[in-house]
Amino acid sequence: MAVEKRPDRLILTAQMGAGWYRYIQKWTFYLDGTIEPTFAFTAVQNGCVSKAHYHNAYWRFDFDIDGFPQDVLDRFLFFIFWAGWDTVGTELSQPRNPFVGYVWRVRDKITGRGYIIAPGPEDGIADAFGVADVWDLAYHGNEIDDGGATGGAMGNAAHMDNYKNNENVDGTDVVFWYRAGHSHNGALTCSTVGPRLTPIGPW
Mean pLDDT for back-to-back runs of 10 residues, the chain (203 residues): 96 91 93 96 75 85 94 88 91 84 91 96 89 96 92 90 96 97 70 95 92
Q: What pTM did the predictor assign?
A: 0.92
Task: Name residue 10's beta-bridge partners.
Answer: 5, 29
User: What is the reported pLDDT for 55?
Assistant: 82
Determine the CATH number of domain 2-200: 2.70.98.20
One DSSP character per residue, 99-158 reads SEEEEEEEEETTT--EEEEE--TT-----TTT--SEEEEE--TT-SS-----SSTTTTS-
Sequence-ordered list of residues with C-beta below 8 angstroms from that of 153, at least 6 positions apart, any chain: none
Is residue 54 within 8 Å of residue 130, measured between CB atoms?
Answer: yes
